[in-house]
Amino acid sequence: MAVSPLVPHASSVAASSSNAGNKFENDSGINPPNKTKRSSSPQRMKNPDREITEQLNDDVRHKYIKDKKLGEGTYAVVFLGHLRTDPSSFVAIKKIKVNAEYKDGLSMDAIREVKYLQELSHPNIIALHDVFSSKDQNLNLVLEYLPRGDLEMLIRDSNIHYGAADVKAWMGMLARGVWFCHENYILHRDIKPNNLLVAADGEVKLADFGLARSFADPYLNMTHQVITRWYRPPELLFGARQYSGAVDVWSMGMVFAELLLRVPFVAGNSDLDQISKICEAFGTPTEENWPGVTRLPNYIPADPNHIVPLQGRDFFLRQFPTAGPVGADLLMSMCTLDPRKRGTACQILQHGWWLAEPKPTKKQDLPRKVGGTKKMGDDLTRRGGELDDTSFKNAARQLDFGAARD
Amino acid sequence: MAANYWASTQRRHWLFTREKLAEIRENFRERDMVAHSQFPLPDQRLLNIYFSQLYTLNRWASKLTRPTELIKLGKRMSTRQQALATAQVYVKRFYTKNEIRHTNPYLVVTTAFYLACKMEECPQHIRFVVGEARGLWPEFIAPDVSKLGECEFSLISEMNSQLIVHHPYRTLSELQPELSLTSDEVALAWSVINDHYLTDLPLLYPPHVIAVMAIIVAVVFKPSQTSFHGSAAPLASAMRDGGMNILAALGEKGGNGPPPRIQRLIGWLAESEVDIKAVIECTQELVSLYEVWEQYSEKHCKELLGRMVKSKNLDK
């Protein structure tokens, strides 16, 4: 298959020029000029046109060199790669697995990922540089390389110390990414710490659009089987088939809580357990605090002897002291049970917390993961020509929990 | 619908000028003169009409739409229609990169439908799609589903994985309250939009221009209350006759002028920043579609395509 030249070329240039400092800008010269593209041909392998198409695909493929395998998931393998012309420009190459014995077309995940990443260009959303095919008819997505792991690693690593200012910086980047998706009528539907990758410069990027979809038209149903359980909002647990960006906002709230507590806040071991944990934590959903909840398909009536009242601001302040009163207020608006009363991504961004002290940490000063990924990240920055000494600065701030920073 | 049209790959990479399209096609011809003289094909629009058989299968309708939801919606909006429209655009995009005579168009059309259904979140099983297509064109679609899988792959790559298509239907729904369109007018505009996928218009103009054109056609040329589905003849003649009357009315100085409804639309159009020249060109394109439509012969299309596919073994 061919990613034919004219457009992919144009798109990669467009994408790179919209991302400041992208390493691919100077790369456009190696693509064939537009004039050479023209007819190419599809199924008939023996056709001379076919060779042109293949040639053009090869040109894209040859732009990159695949290095070692970084990881393997259920439907894809991820490799580290770099530009042939510039070994210091790293990329991640995601190779979509095709079921060899039984070809059933491409999976919805792969389709969704390509579909949305092709259109979205934002500093807090992972960039798709190119798409090409390899000989065995595998689709390869050339993605922005994000060497500093994900937020989950940072949360779990007890050697890493971070404070409210860092949390604010990460949450800010997350909120901007989510807002941009919603602004473009796209629901991400799988926000969680290990889908929030960290770039070499500390920028947090929303990745994995395998579950993303456009907002449905009014009255059309969507599936409720999305979002990893711990981050799934109550309306989806109750089986709502029509929902909004509020589902992503809930997940964002859960990430926020997890960043503050350093453990998942409501971690149920089944969908039912998840519901009861949410009820215990935030209050039992009732017709009073959430009109219409009892009519949701999988609604489970609450035990009348065990109704937890809706938690107020005090609870959030007590539970999340590091967030401060304004932060607790923001978290409360993200974790509102009734999706209609929950803040929207836009309202989240307009919240006063972002302006309150402490100011968010500058992204280059954010704590980073030490170890293998860090080494890779260091290598990357060094080859890029910069000296990486920020980690030393971080060491001095490790105990600086919650203090104001400039 | 997703993302923003103005920043979309559709606007940046899949909008052509007429000259550019003509040049692309001329290049195809020059590159393979032999095939072109050996296998003459009917007008592309007639082929599009021919292939739209797949899209109008009643079985799709029952499988793909849930009537209760449609009633709730109160308009003939459905995922199915979006998917069909998307599929038609995919085919057009594909053939700006590929000479039709080097492909099995039956397979391309079927695959485009399969992919579009996934894209518009109403996925159909690959076997179901192949089965339906074989029901229509048994000689040209192989029972082996892996062919479709392969072709899907090639389709995606030829389109540079740029899969989101923006359609005029949404603009139409949005403008309905603003222009207080009647349900008849919306229905007619809707079918005009359906018809425009048979032409090159989706490659030439942004969706909102198409939507405005459809609204004008619907309001100005008035649906002749009879059924206009399935056949273009009533609309074509309405456009011819009605159009003349309107033009006459507009030209009549000191006369009563056009009816107030039309005056209101004209006023809205004048204040909008829609490219009126483009709207006129779209209208003309549509008129000529309806003219060409009168020459449509399913048998003729089938013969020419069959000869091409069979003699070049494109179906294997």
The closest of B203, B182, B232, B268 to B20, measured between CA atoms, is B203
Pairing of strands A128-134, A86-96: unpaired
Residues of B in contact with A100 (CB under 8 A): none
Looking at residues B44-52, what average pLDDT do you find? 84
- Check CB contact under 8 Å for B102 and A11: no
- Co-location of B22 and B123 in the same domain: yes
Q: How far is B280 from chain A (nearest CA, A)?
A: 29
CATH number at residue B259: 1.10.472.10
Q: Is residue B193 part of a domain?
A: yes
pLDDT value at residue B135: 81
- Catalytically active residues of A are 190
- Check CB contact under 8 Å for A185 and B156: no
Chain B nearest-CA residue for A36: B27
Q: Which domain holds residue B131?
A: 5-165+297-311
Q: With an 8 Å Cβ cutoff, is B103 touching chain A?
A: yes
Residues of B in contact with A7 (CB under 8 A): 9, 13-14, 159-160, 162
Q: Is residue B39 part of a domain?
A: yes
Distance CA B285, CA B44 (A): 13
pLDDT value at residue A8: 34
Residues of B in contact with A101 (CB under 8 A): none
Q: Is residue B142 part of a domain?
A: yes
Distance CA B301, CA B231 (A): 18
- Co-location of B153 and B219 in the same domain: no
Looking at residues B82-92, what average pLDDT do you find? 88
Distance CA A125, CA A133 (A): 23
In chain B the first and final C-alpha atoms are separated, in Å, by: 36
Residues of A in contact with B163 (CB under 8 A): 111, 114-115, 118
pTM over 0.90: no
Chain B nearest-CA residue for A40: B98
Q: Is residue B316 part of a domain?
A: no
- Co-location of B149 and B194 in the same domain: no
Residues of A in contact with B73 (CB under 8 A): 217-219
Chain A nearest-CA residue for B4: A184
B61 pLDDT band, cuts 50/70/90, is very low
From the candidates A94, A112, A220, which should be mutated to test the interface with B, based on the most B CB atoms within 10 A? A220
Q: How far is A220 from chain B (nearest CA, A)?
A: 7
- Co-location of B106 and B184 in the same domain: no
Distance CA A360, CA A197 (A): 18
Q: Is residue B126 part of a domain?
A: yes
Q: How far is B10 from chain A (nearest CA, A)?
A: 9
Distance CA A153, CA A171 (A): 16
A144-154: burial string, b at 16+ Cβ within 10 Å, e else:
bbbbbbbbbbb
Q: Is residue B238 part of a domain?
A: yes
Q: Which of A213-222, A236-245, B82-91, B218-227 has the lowest mean pLDDT?
A: B218-227
pLDDT value at residue B130: 86
Interface of B with A in 146-205 (CB under 8 A): 146, 148-164
pLDDT value at residue B74: 32
- Co-location of B152 and B16 in the same domain: yes
pLDDT value at residue A33: 36
- Co-location of B136 and B277 in the same domain: no
Q: What is the pLDDT along chain A (406 residues), one digit of tens a residue?
A: 433 333 333 333 333 333 333 333 333 333 333 333 333 334 444 444 555 566 667 778 888 888 887 777 666 788 888 888 888 888 888 888 765 545 567 778 888 888 899 889 999 999 999 888 776 667 888 989 888 888 888 898 888 889 999 999 999 999 999 999 999 999 999 999 988 988 888 899 998 898 898 887 777 788 888 898 999 999 999 999 999 999 999 999 999 999 999 999 999 999 999 999 999 899 999 999 999 999 999 998 877 888 888 888 889 999 999 888 999 999 999 999 999 999 999 999 999 999 998 899 998 889 887 543 443 333 322 232 233 333 333 333 333 333 333 3
Q: Which bin fits A349, alpha (ψ -120 to 50), beta or left (φ > 0)? A: alpha
- Check CB contact under 8 Å for B98 and A116: no
Nearest to A103 among B13, B149, B160 (CB): B149
- Co-location of B154 and B25 in the same domain: yes
Q: How far is A45 from chain B (nearest CA, A)?
A: 10
Q: Please enumerate, by residue number, every residue of A annotated as part of a binding site for ATP.
A: 70-78, 94-95
Q: Is residue B25 part of a domain?
A: yes
pLDDT value at residue B217: 86
pLDDT value at residue A186: 93
Looking at residues B300-311, what average pLDDT do you find? 85
Looking at residues B122-147, what average pLDDT do you find? 83
The CA distances from residue A327 to A279, A281, B232, in Å, are 22, 18, 62
Looking at residues B32-42, what average pLDDT do you find? 84
- Co-location of B138 and B13 in the same domain: yes
- Co-location of B237 and B250 in the same domain: yes
- Co-location of B202 and B248 in the same domain: yes
From the candidates A43, A61, A184, which should be mutated to test the interface with B, based on the most B CB atoms within 10 A? A43
Whether B3 has a pLDDT exceeding 70, the answer reads: no
pLDDT value at residue A257: 95
From the candidates B16, B80, B102, B161, which should be mutated to test the interface with A, based on the most A CB atoms within 10 A? B161
- Check CB contact under 8 Å for B72 and A219: yes
Q: Which of A287-301, A354-368, B233-247, B289-303 has the lowest mean pLDDT?
A: B233-247
Whether B67 has a pLDDT exceeding 60, the answer reads: no
Q: What is the DSSP letter of A359?
A: P
B83 pLDDT band, cuts 50/70/90, is confident
- Check CB contact under 8 Å for B153 and A106: yes
- Check CB contact under 8 Å for B2 and A108: no
Split into its structural domains, chain B has a count of 2
B56 pLDDT band, cuts 50/70/90, is low
pLDDT value at residue A232: 94
- Co-location of B151 and B184 in the same domain: no
Whether B73 has a pLDDT exceeding 80, the answer reads: no
Domains in chain A: ranges and CATH: 6-144 (3.30.200.20), 151-354 (1.10.510.10)
Tokens describing residue A104: 């059933």
- Check CB contact under 8 Å for B108 and A42: yes
pLDDT value at residue B169: 87
pLDDT value at residue B210: 94
Looking at residues B73-92, what average pLDDT do you find? 70
Q: Report the largest interatomic distance among the alpha carbons of chain A, rounded to a whole angstrom.
A: 77
Which tens digit of pLDDT belongs to each residue from B158-201? Answer: 888 888 899 998 888 888 888 888 888 888 888 888 888 889 99
- Co-location of B54 and B136 in the same domain: yes
